[in-house]
Structure 1
Amino acid sequence: MSGPDGLRPGEVAAGDLGPADGPALRVIGRARTPWGPEDCPKNIHRARERGAPAILEIDPVFAPALSGLAVGQPVIVLYWMDRARRDLLVQAPRHVDGPRGTFALRSPNRPNTISQSTVTITALDLGAGRVTVDALDCFDGTPLLDIKPWLASVDLPPGTAD
């Protein structure tokens, strides 16, 4: 149960952090998903279980950057969870045994609400700047930040079998 400040027992918020001092980000498009605040899956695994593909609508100025992508290819999608809290330092999710630091969790509530999912391209329409992927765990209209190819030679940690 959350208190009047929106915190669960054991959670710690930072307070006023002042203006961001880092780089500016460019939104490259929007995610089109069937999800809203009431029914969004908590992670990409749960989104896949529901069997709903997502469409990455890329702004026309960035559409040429899609060349070289292929159906069946795994990609990493980075997106901005624009409705998530940015002040939580310690969180108390219901699925773990006690409060944990934000950097030990995959929660969207973090200082920079960047999320990522590794997904598979199921359809491409380069002319329209649309990439359909197997699933995505974010609200419809979530800002997209980047798409990167997933490469076993780069993305698997050392000592992990591919």
Structure 2
Amino acid sequence: MTARAGEEALGFDPGDRSFAGVAAIGRIRSAWRAGDCPRNLRQARERGGGHARLEIDAPYRPGLAGLAEGQWIWLLAWYGDRRRDLIVQAPAHAEGPRGTFALRSPVRPNPVALQLVRITTLDAETGRLEIDATDAFDGTPLLDIKPWLDTVDRPPGP
């Protein structure tokens, strides 16, 4: 991959230094493909959401108990096909390089994506949840779902 001015690589692949195994609980399904994907959830919503849905594997479906249509949930997804060694990036939308941890880029040492989405349809029996939007490619591995809790997730202050 061609580096942009100011970018800096680690000199090693963080994937070679992994210490924890993760298991996908299902997949994110969408209309998005490489070359035709919004850069973020705001753009995804502006483009109609991408026919976004989650397909939860059978063993994990009991974990959907307690979720409801209309509820906001956090998704953790694995963007493992992305570069992992870039620690300073030069995004096309920004002036100058920035540290990876100051960006929402999927290019990072641990390519875990975080999305806050709303459940629009829920069928726990089949493990299918329709969500308002995603900026993930079709087939992206889903690692976890967590509920948005206003008393926990809302930043403090006025």
Which range, TM-score by smaller chain? over 0.9
Matched, 1:86 2:74: no
**1:33 counterpart residue number:** 30
**Is the contact made by 2:13 and 2:84 (CA closer than 8 Å) also made in structure 1?**
no
Amino acid at match of 1:81: Y
Segments of 5+ residues of structure 1 without an aligned counterpart are: none
Q: State the Cα deviation string for residues 66-96 of structure 1 (Å, max 9, x = none).
A: 1110000000011011221101000000111
Amino acid at match of 1:48: R
Amino acid at match of 1:39: D
What TM-score, normalized by structure 2, do the two folds share? 0.94
**1:49 counterpart residue number:** 46
After superposing on structure 2, the runs of 4+ consecutive aligned residues of structure 1 that deviate more than 3 Å are none
**2:10 counterpart residue number:** 14
Secondary structure class of the residue paired with 2:143: strand
Shift of residue 22, structure 1, vs aligned partner: 2.1
Shift of residue 24, structure 1, vs aligned partner: 0.8
User: Aligned residues, how many?
Assistant: 156
Provide the rounded CA distance (Å) in 2 between the counterparts of 1:127 and 1:90.
Answer: 44
Secondary structure class of the residue paired with 1:131: strand
Shift of residue 156, structure 1, vs aligned partner: 1.4
Provide the rounded CA distance (Å) in 2 between the counterparts of 1:127 and 1:46.
Answer: 31
**1:102 counterpart residue number:** 100
Segments of 5+ residues of structure 2 without an aligned counterpart are: none
Secondary structure class of the residue paired with 1:75: strand
